[in-house]
Amino acid sequence: MMGGQFWKTVGLCVVCLVVFGGFGAVTWAASPEPSTARDLPELRLSLREAMDAAVDQNPTVRLFNERITQAQDVANTQLGELLPNLSGTAGAARRRFFTGSFGSNATVVGPRDFYEMRAFLTQNVFSLSLIQKWRAAKAGVDVAGLDAEVTKRDTMATAGLIYLETLRAKAAVDARTADVALNKELLRLAAERKSAGMATSLDVTRAKVQLENARQRLLVAENERDRAKLNLIRAMGLSFEVRLVLTDEMKMVNVSEQSIGEALQVAKENRTELKAQQNRERLASLSLSSVTNERVPTIQALGDVGMIGNQIPNALTTDNVQVLMRVPIFDGGMREARISESRSLLRQEAIRTQDVQYQVGLEVRDALITMSSAKQQVAVAEEGLKLSLTELELSRERFAVGVATNIEVTDAQTRVAQARDNLIEGLFTFNASRLSLARAQGQLEKL
């Protein structure tokens, strides 16, 4: 009885597994497989293309371009103050008049109908204040354009640095891949020597540990590379559904030698921040001039012409012409307060100009020093990698003939990995300093 019940239970379990397994198979079959990186469209990018793409898609750059339009509209508004203003009116009225106000009998006359059409013309003939306001508004357009250019170059530099960081991450993956291949070879050598009775299980285990450590570092490097690519795609404002391929490499290139004086002169001639700040100072000076010139009398011409009558067919033409000169006398001290405020703003801009000059000088010097150091770092790293590879080869030979354990090989392999990392960091520092120097001198377009 118990045996029959057992087999019934087993049969029920098998049926359940088949049924639910079938549902599971259907579910998995119905689920779309996620697309792999190989299924995505390929996007090949150089450093220059990445920087240009970042400028085209960056929202901050587009925002500053809109500010140029805003500044142009402000300038057009100020220009309108200097141009003739023409307006017109048309109306109909029904009025009652009190004749007592004209010295006659105190009676009310009316109602009377009146129809009138009239054109008005106003022209500021002379106003130094308005002229200076218009010039200041035009200077504001220049400032907005230069600010947009500064933002563009900052965006290019940021995208360029992220591109280099992605190249560094890719180089790290290549280095860790080479480490894994090397450790596999060392594990094979240890296993062969153990089979020949020339090595112990400890040697093989030690080689396996080194291989697993290398694989772990490779996984970390691959993750950092993929994350760096995502950051680069984000910096360019592109879709994440692409397979990014970087066409440039981190390598040493010939860079013309510059003295600090020559580098600073190039920066002075090309750095957009300097030009923008100098224009801000000019804008503040023009704003001060416009407020100061409010003390100067202004001349304004006014005129109007139109037709008026109690009936439209009987309307008569009337006109009026005036020339007014306004002389400012006293406004409660408001004008003098605005003049003092404008002078303070001008002094502030002069201080900022000096600060920008110092900052540009600092950035140029820093880039030159870093580049010089990076060249030496790369040279030392290349020599260190060469020596560490020689050490590794010698230690492998010693291990192969049985005069040393694989501890020497493991230590040598560790130094090879460190030498590769040193070379990667040196190349990254060199290329990043090239980018920084080009940014500091306002010559990113020459990269």
Q: What is the pLDDT of residue 313?
A: 85
Q: CA 114 from chain center: how many Å? A: 65
Angle in degrees, 0-180, between the axes of helices 406-440 and 201-236, rounded to the nearest 10: 10
Q: What is the pLDDT of residue 4?
A: 47
Q: What is the pLDDT of residue 272?
A: 95
Q: Given pLDDT bands bounded at 50, 70 and 90, which one contains residue 33? A: very low
Q: What is the pLDDT of residue 100?
A: 67
The least confident of 155-164, 213-222, 311-320 is: 311-320
Is residue 38's pLDDT more than 70? Answer: no
Pull the structure tokens for residue 365.
């010097």
Which CATH topology does 52-84+128-295+340-446 take?
A: Outer membrane efflux proteins (OEP) (1.20.1600)
Q: What is the pLDDT of residues 98-119, one digit of tens each?
A: 676 666 677 777 788 889 999 9
Q: What is the pLDDT of residue 30?
A: 36
Is residue 28's pLDDT more than 60? Answer: no
Percent of the chain residues topping a pLDDT of 70: 90
Q: Give the Cα separation of 190 and 239 in Å (integer).
A: 48
> How many Cα neighbours within 13 Å face the side chain of 288?
16
Q: What is the pLDDT of residues 248-264, one digit of tens each?
A: 999 999 988 899 999 99
Structure pTM?
0.79
Contacts for 82 with CB less than 8 Å, ≥ 6 apart: 124, 127, 130, 131, 134
Q: What is the pLDDT of residues 398-443, one digit of tens each?
A: 888 878 778 888 899 999 999 999 999 999 999 999 999 999 999 9
Percent of the chain residues topping a pLDDT of 90: 70
Residue predicted with more confidence, 10 or 138:
138
Bridging pattern class, strands 316-326 and 298-309: antiparallel
Is residue 388's pLDDT more than 90? Answer: yes
The least confident of 52-61, 76-85, 421-430 is: 52-61
Q: Is the peptide bond before 328 cis (omega within 30 degrees of 0)?
A: no
Stretch 54-66: mean pLDDT, rounded? Answer: 88
Stretch 313-319: mean pLDDT, rounded? Answer: 89
Stretch 395-400: mean pLDDT, rounded? Answer: 87
Is residue 233's pLDDT more than 60? Answer: yes
Q: What is the pLDDT of residues 165-202, one digit of tens each?
A: 999 999 999 999 999 999 999 899 889 888 888 888 99
Q: CA 397 from chain center: how many Å? A: 54
Is residue 34's pLDDT more than 60? Answer: no
DSSP letter for 322, please. E
Q: Given pLDDT bands bounded at 50, 70 and 90, which one contains residue 96? A: confident
Pull the structure tokens for residue 109.
């006359």
Nearest to 162 by CA among 248, 222, 228, 246: 228
Of 48-57, 134-143, 185-194, 239-248, the range with the highest mean pLDDT is 134-143
Is residue 12's pLDDT more than 50? Answer: no
Q: What is the pLDDT of residue 170?
A: 97
The full DSSP string for 36-83 is: PGGGSPEEEE-HHHHHHHHHHH-HHHHHHHHHHHHHHHHHHHHHHHHS
Q: What is the pLDDT of residue 312?
A: 83
Chain-wide mean pLDDT for the chain?
Answer: 88
> How many Cα neighbours within 13 Å face the side chain of 292?
10
Stretch 332-357: mean pLDDT, rounded? Answer: 96
Is residue 145's pLDDT more than 80? Answer: yes
DSSP letter for 241, please. S
**Opening angle at CA 260, ends 259 and 266, nearest 5:** 90
Q: What is the pLDDT of residue 36?
A: 55
Stretch 17-21: mean pLDDT, rounded? Answer: 37
